[in-house]
């Protein structure tokens, strides 16, 4: 999660950040409106199963990962996080498409700068952002974790495929894959942590107001919100971005 910006950007134009929109191909139009659609329904799974229970979504993810351009393991993580929240906090209604939209913007689903997501959901090599040292256009956040998560003992840096700052991770981080470790570099842990944070921030994410509030808490930028919305909406109709 990127640190809060100083003020909200005034954006008058819809963000057209969809690469590879498929000119010349017969693709479904990208829906407008907020919140973006929920996408392909999740099958019923046992969210409390042992180990990496996101594996129960292997078939569901495999059927659409290629068309969406999302690594299957990452898509499993987004689906599992949405399923957990549907069970534990049904009033939230967060969809896997929203998590996929955020992860696409933050780290290209864990593939930023040559990283990849292994079979256990861990991003290798780790994704670590720039120092939040107060440089022009950069927030100032002095170290809150002794460098434990980001390797920087002076300033915080956003970490992992969902780009959490250490202070936020220490409060909201959760073990989603049953390995006993709460790891921001693991896409299962990061996706469920993001889902919990968004639901707490926005309340009802099936409403326009709730979804917008959740996204603005995650990153106080209207441009960011619209980019996530566009990407999530594309995923909702089976299009890659």
Provide the pLDDT confidence category of residue 196 given band limits of 50, 70 and 90.
very high
For the beta carbon of residue 87, count every other beta carbon within 10 angstroms.
Answer: 12
Half-sphere exposure of 42 (CA within 13 A, CB side): 27
Position 27 scores a pLDDT of 86
Alpha-helical (H) ranges within the chain are 58-68, 72-88, 96-107, 166-172, 187-202, 208-218, 222-236
Position 6 scores a pLDDT of 31
Does 66 have pLDDT greater than 50?
yes
Q: What is the pTM of this model?
A: 0.89
**Cα–Cα dist 60/170, whole Å:** 31
**Cα–Cα dist 155/135, whole Å:** 12
**Cα–Cα dist 165/148, whole Å:** 12
Provide the pLDDT confidence category of residue 1 given band limits of 50, 70 and 90.
low
Position 20 scores a pLDDT of 43
| DSSP SS3 for 159 | strand
Share of the chain above pLDDT 70, in %: 90
* Closest listed residue to residue 184, CA positions, set 104, 98, 110: 110
């Amino acid at each position: 999660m990127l640190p809060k910006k100083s003020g909200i950007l005034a954006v008058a134009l819809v963000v057209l950040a969809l690469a590879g929109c498929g000119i010349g191909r017969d693709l479904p139009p990208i829906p407008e409106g907020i919140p973006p659609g929920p996408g392909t329904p999740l099958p019923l799974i046992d969210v409390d199963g042992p180990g990496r229970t996101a594996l129960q979504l292997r078939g569901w993810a495999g059927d659409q990962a290629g068309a969406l351009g999302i690594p299957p393991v990452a898509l499993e993580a987004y689906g599992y996080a949405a399923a957990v929240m549907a069970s534990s906090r049904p009033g939230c209604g967060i969809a896997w498409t929203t998590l996929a939209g955020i992860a696409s913007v933050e780290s290209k689903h864990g593939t930023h700068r040559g990283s990849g997501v292994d079979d256990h959901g861990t991003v290798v090599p780790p994704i670590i952002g720039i120092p939040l040292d107060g440089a022009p256009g950069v927030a100032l956040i002095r170290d809150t974790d002794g460098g434990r998560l980001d390797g920087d003992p002076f300033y915080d840096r956003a970490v992992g495929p969902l780009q959490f700052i250490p202070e936020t991770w220490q409060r909201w981080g959760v073990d989603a894959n049953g390995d006993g470790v709460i790891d921001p570099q693991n896409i299962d842990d990061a996706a469920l942590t993001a889902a919990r944070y968004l639901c707490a921030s926005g309340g009802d994410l099936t409403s326009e107001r709730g979804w917008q509030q959740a996204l603005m808490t995650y990153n106080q930028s209207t441009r960011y919100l619209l980019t996530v919305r566009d990407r999530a909406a594309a995923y909702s109709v089976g299009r890659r971005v």
